[in-house]
Amino acid sequence: MSDFALVTGANSGLGAATAEALACKGIHVLLACRRGEDSTATANALANPRISAVPFDCDLGDLKKVRAFVDKLEKKMGANAQVSILVNNAGMNGTGVKPWKTPENVGFLTQTNFLGPFVLTRLMMSKNMLRGGENGTSKARVVNVSSVTHRTHGNIRDVQAFFNPTREGHYPNTKLANALFTLALNEKFGNSVTAVSADPGGAMTGIWRRYGPLARFAISLIFAPADDAATSVVHAAVADMSSAPKYAYVARGAFAWKLLCGEEPSANVPRWRRLTATGIAVFVDWPIRWISGKMLCSHATLVPPTPQARDLDLANAVWDEAERRAGL
Ligand SMILES: NC(=O)c1ccc[n+]([C@@H]2O[C@H](COP(=O)([O-])OP(=O)(O)OC[C@H]3O[C@@H](n4cnc5c(N)ncnc54)[C@H](OP(=O)(O)O)[C@@H]3O)[C@@H](O)[C@H]2O)c1
Q: Probe ligand 1: pick from 8, 12, 147, max atoms within 8 Å of CB?
A: 12
Alpha carbon nearest to ligand 1 atom 38, residue:
34
CA of 9 to the centre of ligand 1 (A): 6
Instruction: State pLDDT tens for residues 54-108.
Output: 999 999 999 999 999 999 999 998 877 789 999 999 999 987 777 889 988 999 9
Whole-model pTM: value is: 0.96
Torsion of CA 181, 184, 186, 190, to 10 degrees: -130
Show Cβ contacts of residue 12 under 8 Å, excluding neighbours closer than 6 positions.
205, 206
Which pLDDT value is given to residue 131? 87
Transcribe 69-120 into DSSP letters. HHHHHHHHH-TT-EEEEEEE-----STT-SS-B-TTS-BHHHIIIIIHHHHH
Closest ligand 1 atom number to CA of residue 205:
19
What's the pLDDT score for residue 54? 96
**pLDDT < 70: residue spans in the chain:** 1-2, 134-137, 154-155, 263-268
pLDDT at 260: 87
Q: What is the pLDDT of residue 81?
A: 74
Domains of the chain, first to last: 3-326 (3.40.50.720)
Ligand 1 centroid from CA 79, angstroms: 30
Which atom of ligand 1 lies closest to the CA of 90? 24
Residues linked to residue 105 through DSSP beta bridges, in sequence order: none
Distance of alpha carbon 169 from alpha carbon 165, whole angstroms: 7
* Ligand 1 pocket, residue 174 CB under 6 Å: no
Give 14-63 as a DSSP string: HHHHHHHHHHHTT--EEEE-SSHHHHHHHHHHH--TTEEE--S---TT-H
Ligand 1 atom with the smallest distance to the CA of 204 is: 1
Provide the 10 A C-beta neighbour count for residue 102: 20
